[in-house]
Amino acid sequence: MKNIENLKDEILISVIIPCYNSEHTLEDTLSSLKVQDFDSWEAIIVNDGSTDNSEAIALKFVKHDAHFKYFKKPNGGLGSARNFGIAKALGQYILPLDADNTIRPQFAKQALLVFQKDSGLGVVYGDAMYFGEKQGIWKVGGFDKFRLLRKNYIDACAIIKKEVFDNLGGYDVNMPHQGNEDWDLWLRVLNSKYKFHYLDEITFDYRVVKNSMIRSFDKKMFEDNRFYIKNKNKELYFETYNDLYNEFNKLRIRKNASIFRKFLRQIKFLTK
């Protein structure tokens, strides 16, 4: 990748912003992009069949700033809207940004510097600051394969090499309930040649509201999605389980009690 300090006209990052009836939050989201500390980005706003004033807000930004591009499509859900935007993207990297969150000025540039140092990286993510109905820092933490296999802990607001989507496919639009598409993507990345990198800093602001998509999930909806995702990625789970089981038996022979207990916990996580 070229030195980002020397680029002005080339697009490196495509920010994908799906919106559906987002008139109360969209302006804050788009405004956060205007204060980025580098200039090689585009913002692709995908109106996913909104019936409110979202279009007028988006077009106001498009009119005054060439970084912003606007597309409208029939309602198809979050995964469909993200895939639509990614297909239009010109950048080498993709940043999905929900229309109720805001991005920190330094995130894109810091992530690109990390990508420059390691060509094997596929995803760079960081911490978040809660706002709205919850306050405080969302400390995501370093990458943990077993934690990710058990449940998703990395938000969609990460910077992803575009070739990841070219090689692994886009967000799954066939999930029983929308809202866990990012977990499925992360598992596919985990099962590929690409690596994750954690930035130990606040990279975006996460709005918490009562009527958000994921907070509307009941236990059955979550279980439906979890079964679908684990079944789809079953080879990854089987392979990981077998590796752990083999290590488990080696440790049992060696009678290394502390590490033995650690592997036992990891095996239990995979079977939940």
The token pair at 40 is 């090689």
> What is the model's pLDDT at position 270?
59
- pLDDT mean values, one per 10 residues, the chain (272 residues): 59 97 97 93 98 98 97 97 98 97 97 96 98 95 94 97 98 94 97 97 94 73 94 91 65 57 60 57
> What is the model's pLDDT at position 22?
97
> What is the model's pLDDT at position 101?
98
Cα gap 231→234, rounded to integer Å:
5
Is the whole model's pTM more than 0.95, yes or no?
Answer: no
Q: How many CB atoms lie within 10 A of CB 103?
A: 21
> What is the model's pLDDT at position 38?
86
SS3 20: coil
Measured CA distances, 46 to 3, 17, 26, 88, 184 (Å): 30, 6, 11, 10, 22
Cα gap 116→1, rounded to integer Å:
6
> What is the model's pLDDT at position 50?
98
> What is the model's pLDDT at position 7?
55
> What is the model's pLDDT at position 71?
98
Note whether 260 and 252 are within 8 A (CB).
yes
> What is the model's pLDDT at position 231?
94
